Structure 1
Amino acid sequence: MGVRMRLTTVETVHEEGSWLFTVRDQYGADEEVVLVPCEDGVEAWINRCTHESQRLDTGRGAAMRDGQIICPKHGSMFDSCTGYCDNGEAAETTLPSVDVTVEDGTVYLTDDEVSYLRDGGIDEDEDEDGGPSSTSHLSF
């Protein structure tokens, strides 16, 4: 196992609904990762829809409902525990995962293929209002 990096607490992720951080992958590319609540723990997913690389957490928290992460552009819903989507434009796909470990309520990054860069996203000033242009029929 590589170096463990303390990220946040399970309690924080459950209270805030999601938690965003940035890593560098093994090829030198920066990636956003979103931590989301999952039953009693958390799971970590690359922060982009499998349909069009749309950010799931645009810097204001991931839209979530009934244990699912909602793509803000088209409304596809990914199970927060498995990353699997069974509806919408991203149906039959699974979000890429990032390895994290929880010990005594603290979340650690333990994925040997990425290195921690910082809390928050890569560029949270992407749009004037920080969000995507939506074509979804869902409202929040």
Structure 2
Amino acid sequence: MSPRTHLTSADDVPEQGGWLFTVEEPNGSLQEVFLVRLDDGIAAWKNYCQHETDQELYREEIGAVVRDGGIVCPKHGSVFDAVTGDCENGPAAGSTLAEVAVTVELGEVYLTDDDVEFSHAGPASAGDDDDDDDTPGSTSHLRF
């Protein structure tokens, strides 16, 4: 797919919370990805907990909770190493976050993952272009 796509300035990735964008998977589905600032760079992780894939790690209200170098699942409390994605505690122990390849060059962040294609900045729902009326095009977005 796309060999290199500019995402944002490294300065725009906050110390806490991260920076959210959406990619298109090879099967055409959209997947949220978030950037987190590390001591020596930036990492990108797909926005779901390995314990329960419908649990988002990055939430619009607060971003990603990052404490002492770990990304905290807001539902279960599992902590994933922000550098490696590995989890050693809680329900997700023994799992690893799904990484997306990014590169930082001259203070700019680029998507360099061959397996996904950049869709847009922000949440997956921000890419919906069929908001011409108030009726949903699908009920798949509903949660009970």
Q: Same fold (TM over 0.5)?
A: yes
Q: 1:119 is matched by which residue type in structure 2? A: A
**8 Å Cα contact 1:51-1:90 kept in structure 2:** yes
Deviations 1:31-88 (A, max 9, x none): 0001011122100011100000110001131011011100011100001000000000
Q: Which residue of 2 aligns with 1:121?
A: 123
Q: Distance in 1 between matches of 2:49 and 2:18?
A: 15
* Pair 1:58-2:59 in alignment: yes
| Deviation for aligned residue 1:16 | 4.9
Aligned partner of 2:108: which letter? T
Query: Unpaired segments of 5 or more residues in structure 2?
Result: 127-144
TM-score by length of 2: 0.81
Q: 1:5-54 CA deviation, whole Å, 9 max, x = no partner?
A: 11112222144540000000111111000101112210001110000011
* Equivalences for residues 1-140 of structure 1 within 5 A: 2-53=2-53, 54-60=55-61, 61-123=63-125
Structure 1 unaligned segments of length 5 or more: list them: 125-140
Q: TM-score, normalised by structure 1?
A: 0.83
Counterpart of 1:101, as a letter, is T
Larger Cα-atom Rg = 2
Provide the aligned C-alpha RMSD in A. 1.6
Question: Could you tell me how far 1:2 is from its partner in structure 2?
Answer: 3.6
- % same residue: 52
What secondary structure sits across from 2:59 in the alignment? Answer: coil
Deviating above 2 A after TM superposition, structure 1's stretches of 4 or more consecutive aligned residues are 14-17
How many residue pairs are counted as aligned between the two chains?
124
Output the CA distance in 2 between the equivalents of 1:30 and 1:43.
19
